[in-house]
Structure 1
Amino acid sequence: MPIRVEKLSYSYQAGTPMEHKALEDVSLEITDGSYTAVIGHTGSGKSTLMQHLNGLLKPTEGFLEINGRQITPETQNKELGDLRKEVGFVFQFPEAQLFEETVKKDIAFAPKNFGKSDEEAEAIAVRMAKMVDLPDEVLDKSPFELSGGQMRRVAIAGILAMEPKILVLDEPTAGLDPMGRLEMMRLFSRLHKNGMTIILVTHQMNDVADYADHALVLEHGRLIADTTPKALFSKPEWLREHHLDLPQTTKFAEKLMASGMKFDSLPLTKKELAQILADRIKGGSADE
């Protein structure tokens, strides 16, 4: 289910004295089964772009195409129902959207709303709860009795219950403790390995390095980089010019370079750096 964005621009309050252009002339492609990280400072247009992907917003100019379905400024809201089943959107604090009296009912709400029977929706809810590692004993509890991390899992299970082909994640680990963050990122990685296209908005460069295979950088509403994480983080000076950070491992490798160690290319992940150092030690050339 590929995504193509062509010369897309979007203005809030278009045609009024308060008009603000949030996106300008953005063109890009996201391939099936990829894991794309979207990077940029607050106000760069990341969330605005993501909200176009399931029809929460429509372009002011240009268009986007998802699985052959084109969305233009003239597209009617009633035409977007199927798209919203195919593209699941996880907001920063999705647990704020929980409202049902039990976990099971909350997860089952979307499939019931899209025409599944009570029995079918309940079976989907149980399956999705397992997918996000929620224990069976919480299914009949109120979601508001759960921990913050579990509440977020309920909200994500509710989105997965629509069985989307694409999952858009807008800072999905915001507010979680380090272990909660790690568990959530591992969940998304597992979904990706099972064939789902993942699009992640993040400020965490470690997550870009550890999980993504495609990176987009936005600045002032424009796309300024469309590349791989490896290529992106191989240009530390460019990143600094745009006030963007490096993954922790790459920063450490820079310090090693300053002390005399040479790298063919800067490592992105701990595993990659550990392998390089192990090879150097084995070959007796750790100082080269």
Structure 2
Amino acid sequence: MAITFKQVDFTYQPGTPFETKALTDINVTIPTGSYTALIGHTGSGKSTLLQHLNALLKPTKGTVTIGKRVITPETSNKDLKRLRQHVGIVFQFPESQLFEETVAKDIAFGPQNFGKSEAEAMQIAEQMLALVGLDRALLTRSPFDLSGGQMRRVAIAGVLAMQPDVLVLDEPTAGLDPQGRLEMMEMFARLRHERDLTVVLVTHQMDDVANYADNVIVMDRGQVVKTGTPREIFKDPQWLVKHQLGLPKTTAFAHELQAAGWQFKQLPLTEDELAEEIAAQLPPQAFGGDPAK
């Protein structure tokens, strides 16, 4: 499911002394099946744009097209419930939204709210728990008795239980240690392929953009200032600094190597790419080969 913004403006509290324009003339498309990273410094408008992805906010001006549904400033809120089944949002610290007495009831809440029977919803809950890598034995446990990482996975299972076409991730690894971050990001990459999802990742982690995204939207001061592949976005370090953004660690190291005289066919974005580029330039004896051959 594609999402397209056309000439979108959004203003908080219009017509009041507290009026604040958060988005200006947004024209961008999130393609079906893409893994799109939405990046920008704090206050750039990412969170406001994110809430338009399933019409939690409606544009003050312009249109947002979600699949075949066109959202305008005049769109009635009562017509948007079904739309929100198709675009699931995992907000920061989603575990804080858990509320039911058991894991099964928490995951099943959404499907039941959309008309599934209790039996059907419980079956979905069991399937989604397995999908996020947790044992079915946890279904009868209180979510508040689980570890922080398990609670987060349960919350994500609740979003997946709605069987969305688009999964929006708002800083989904916030507060996790490096191993937990890696496991979470690998899980999302797996879910994208297994569930044929369009994924939108809002993040400050440039390494995650380089490792997982195939499309990037850069925001600054409420506007989209650049779009492209990760390689296109990260090729100009000075432009990134100007917009208060950094480089993936691997790419930053590759720039240092270039300054020291190394040449790359293309700038490495990931550790594997950097390793391949370095290996291609080292002499055979660096790998135990015979220098005479």
TM range (shorter): over 0.9
Please state how far the C-alpha of 1:9 moved relative to its aligned partner.
0.7
| Partner-residue secondary structure (3-state), 2:89 | strand
Residue type of the partner of 2:276?
Answer: Q
Per-residue CA deviations over 1:56-94 (Å, capped at 9, x if unaligned) read 100000111011100000011111111100000110011
Match of 2:101 in 1: 101
Mark the CA change 1:117 to 1:250 in structure 2 (over 3 Å): closer, same or farther: same
Partners of 1:272 and 1:149 in 2: CA distance: 30
Structure 1: state its 5+ residue gaps: none
Counterpart amino acid of residue 207 in structure 1 = D
Structure 2 CA distance for aligned equivalents of residues 243 and 22 of structure 1: 18
**Could you tell me which residue of structure 2 aligns to residue 237 of structure 1?**
238
2:272 and 2:266 map into 1 onto residues whose CA distance is 14
Aligned pairs, number: 286
List gaps (5 residues or longer) in structure 2: 287-293
CA contact 2:217–2:227 (8 Å) conserved in 1: yes
1:46-61 matches, cutoff 5 A: 46-61=46-61
1:228: which partner in 2? Answer: 229
Q: Distance in 2 between matches of 1:85 and 1:262?
A: 49
1:123 aligns with 2:123: yes
The match for 1:246 is: 247
Does residue 90 of structure 1 match 2:80? no
CA contact (8 A) 1:234 1:265 kept: no
**Corresponding residue number in structure 1 for 2:274:** 273
The Cα RMSD (Å) is 1.4
- 1:253 touches 1:266 (CA, 8 Å); kept in 2? yes
Deviation at 1:36, TM superposition (A): 0.2
Aligned partner of 2:263 in structure 1 is: 262
User: Could you say which residue in structure 2 is the equivalent of 1:179?
Assistant: 179
Deviation at 1:230, TM superposition (A): 0.6
Matched residue, 2:206: 205
CA contact (8 A) 1:64 1:72 kept: yes
Q: Secondary structure at the match of 2:32?
A: coil
The CA deviation string for residues 123-163 of structure 1, in whole angstroms up to 9 with x for no partner, is 10000000000112211100000111110000000000000
Q: Secondary structure at the match of 2:81?
A: helix
Percent identity over paired residues: 59
Q: Equivalents in 2 of 1:177, 1:189: separation in Å? A: 18
CA contact (8 A) 2:40 2:244 kept: no
Letter in 2 for 1:202: T
- TM-score of the superposition, structure 2-length normalised? 0.95
Name the residue aligned to 1:43: 43
Retained in 2: the 8 A contact 1:87–1:166? Answer: yes
- Find the aligned partners of 2:283 and 2:118 in 1 and give their Cα distance: 61
- TM-score, normalization: structure 1? 0.97
Letter aligned with residue 82 of structure 1: R
Partners of 2:115 and 2:74 in 1: how far apart? 27
Residue 200 of structure 1 aligns to a residue whose secondary structure is strand
Q: Is the 8 A contact 2:254 2:268 kept in 1?
A: yes
Deviations for 1:224-262, whole angstroms, at most 9, x for unmatched residues?
011110101111111112121000000111111121111
Matched, 1:191 2:191: yes
1:265 Cα offset (Å):
2.2
SS in 2 for 1:56: coil
